[in-house]
Amino acid sequence: MKKCTTLIVPRRAAEEGHHAFGIDLRRRVTVEGAIDDGSAAMSRPDPTPELHVAADPPGAAAVAAAEVIALLVAAVGVRGRAGIALSGGNTPRLLYRRLVALGRGAAPWDRVTFCFGDERCVPQDHVESNAGLAWRELLLPLGVTPAQVITVPAGLASDAAQRYEALLRERFGPGVPRLDLVLLGIGTDGHVASLFPGDPIVDEKISLTHAVSAPPGHAIRQRVTLTLPVINNARAVFFLATGAEKQGAVAEAIDGVGASRSPAGRVRPDGRLAWFLDASAAATP
């Protein structure tokens, strides 16, 4: 089994946040440039993952929210700004609501640039839009302005991916963006963002973004995703997973079993890797 740092979070500690069990992320932030060429991400050793296990989904979201706040405060304190890629799907909804509940004053939200790990090719007011969810549940309640948010342009997936990459390069400069945080969920098949098992896009090493056709069974198949070079160049990656149906995918990703084919198992950030789980997702399948 892969070596892990495990934190079992009591319900009360989850509600009180990371200070209840003595985590101070400000000591983990290093001063680095905003970008690099991403080459180090291709050969680095596996990071030691942290496992934060709470009793239930609200508890996992509460612990993750406290860690997100601490990370953003630290990043802005060191570099004057922060960049975060938001997760798609339904997984982040509880996290977004918890961040909003902590209040606008909990973090310097006006110094944060937001982008998206992936997006479905639908209008922003569509129920399946990741950007739409983020605006409703997180960005608007926190007073984030459109100028702070890099969204995937509308249109065909291939064209949208090219334009999204251009927007990322315009904002972050040449090379691979050095995001402070990438938020991810995980599918029951081990997919992350819109990187699915067996898709050659998982092996992409140059492009920042890519058009994707999700496997049959997904409501919206045409998508745009960040690639692993961007995800793995982040200073931190936080996974949030809840529910017994995620047990197998979580165990495979963390233990490294089948890592060559599980996109989640290939997430190896140049920095911190943390999993926020409820008891059901953390149980051995």
pTM for the predicted model, two decimal places: 0.86
220-234 burial, b for 16+ CB within 10 Å, e for fewer?
eebbbbbbbbbbbbb
Mean pLDDT within 231-242: 97
The pLDDT confidence band at residue 44, using thresholds 50, 70 and 90, is low
Contact 177, 233 (CB under 8 A): yes
Residue 30 has pLDDT above 50, yes or no: no
pLDDT at 46: 67
Mean pLDDT within 132-161: 97
Q: Which of residues 40 and 143 earns the better pLDDT score?
A: 143
- The CATH classification number of 35-40+52-282 equals 3.40.50.1360
Least confident window among 8-17, 28-37, 211-220, 241-250: 28-37
**DSSP-assigned letters across all residues of 201-255:** GGG--S-SEEEEEPPTT-S--EEEEE-HHHHHTSSEEEEEE-SGGGHHHHHHHHH
For residue 149, report the phi and psi dihedrals to the nearest 5 degrees.
-120, 125
Record the tokens describing residue 221, joined without a space.
């198949």
pLDDT at 100: 98
Residue 144 has pLDDT above 70, yes or no: yes
Domain-by-domain residue ranges, the chain?
Answer: 35-40+52-282
Residue 32 has pLDDT above 50, yes or no: no
